[in-house]
């Protein structure tokens, strides 16, 4: 698990400003320790976000919040779809649910990192999202500034 670092975290349900601010900090390389209070949503037209979420309502809410801020959003329903999407195109940031069918967020992140190393492609920021930290999600020893990468 050495490839997972303490950088960003989001607990669902997230406010629009929290979602936008976390995505902005991830893209700018800031960690939660670097961040001050939320400074409002920054319009960032053209930023490509891969939203990996199996819940239809969560998909609609997150996509709507992100698109209102100017982000370009593509949805993957599980980790397998996320890995496939990243093979087909480039994203600026990935919002990854942890508990999903087919392939969970931790496994998908590991596979994405393995493929990045294998191909020499850049390191896409991946922000973990979960409604409740649990042993199954890998967040049982949850820390305030936890992320999967």
Domains annotated on the chain, with CATH: 10-30+43-137 (3.40.50.2300)
Return d(Cα 60, Cα 99) in angstroms, integer.
17
| Burial of 147 from C-beta contacts in 10 A (0-12 / 13-18 / 19+) | buried
What does pLDDT average to over the chain? 75
Angle, CA 50 vertex, CA 47 and CA 55 arms, to 5°: 135
The overall pTM is greater than 0.85: no
The model's pLDDT over 65-111, given as tens digits with 9 standing for 90+, comes to: 899 888 999 999 999 999 999 999 999 999 998 888 899 888 999 99
Three-class SS state of 127: strand
């Amino acid at each position: 698990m050495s490839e997972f670092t303490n950088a960003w975290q989001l607990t669902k349900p997230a406010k629009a400003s929290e979602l936008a601010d976390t995505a902005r900090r991830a893209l700018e390389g800031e960690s939660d320790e670097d961040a001050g209070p939320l400074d409002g949503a920054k319009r960032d037209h053209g930023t490509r976000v891969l939203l990996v979420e199996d819940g239809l309502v969560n998909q609609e809410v997150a996509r709507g919040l992100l698109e209102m801020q100017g982000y370009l959003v593509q949805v993957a329903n599980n980790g397998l779809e996320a890995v496939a999407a990243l093979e087909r195109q480039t994203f600026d940031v990935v919002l990854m649910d942890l508990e999903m069918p087919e392939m969970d967020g931790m496994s998908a992140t590991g596979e994405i990192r393995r493929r990045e190393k294998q191909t020499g492609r850049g390191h896409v920021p991946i922000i973990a999202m979960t409604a409740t930290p649990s042993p199954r999600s890998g967040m049982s020893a949850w820390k305030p500034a936890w992320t999967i990468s």
